[in-house]
Amino acid sequence: MSKKSEALMKTFEGVETVSVIHAAFDETPRVVAMVEVNKSASFIKKCEVAFVKTNTINDAWWRNEGVTPMFPEKGCRSTSVGDMVLIGTEKYKCNSMGWSLI
């Protein structure tokens, strides 16, 4: 199945892709991953799923299912407070407790 066909099938399955942007420790914010989340989930749940999927726990996070790495280096730090998740046209910042729309 082609990548376009796979993407179309995921749309029918209720999957949405969000962007994870690292900005906390970087001079210039940059997209480091595209993460698949449940389309019908709340924005908070989508942010939390993206956060967990871009944190190294048992293996490098970019090997997690539903994650497409978008960085050119061999590795990338985990998502942290100060980083962001872009859902559609809305961007949410990771706070020490929760998320805020920016």
- Look at residue 2 and tell me if it is in a domain: no
pTM: 0.86
Residue 8, domain member (yes or no): no
Residues contacting residue 61 through CB under 8 Å, at least 6 positions apart: 33, 53, 54, 55, 67, 76, 78, 79
User: Helix (H, G, I), strand (E, B), or coil: what is residue 91?
Assistant: strand
The number of folded domains in the chain is: 1
The DSSP symbol for 70 reads: -
Longest dimension (CA), the chain: 41
pLDDT per residue as tens digits for the range 39-82: 999 999 999 999 999 999 999 999 999 999 999 889 999 999 99
What domain range is 74 assigned to? Answer: 16-101
Whether 52 maps to a domain, the answer reads yes
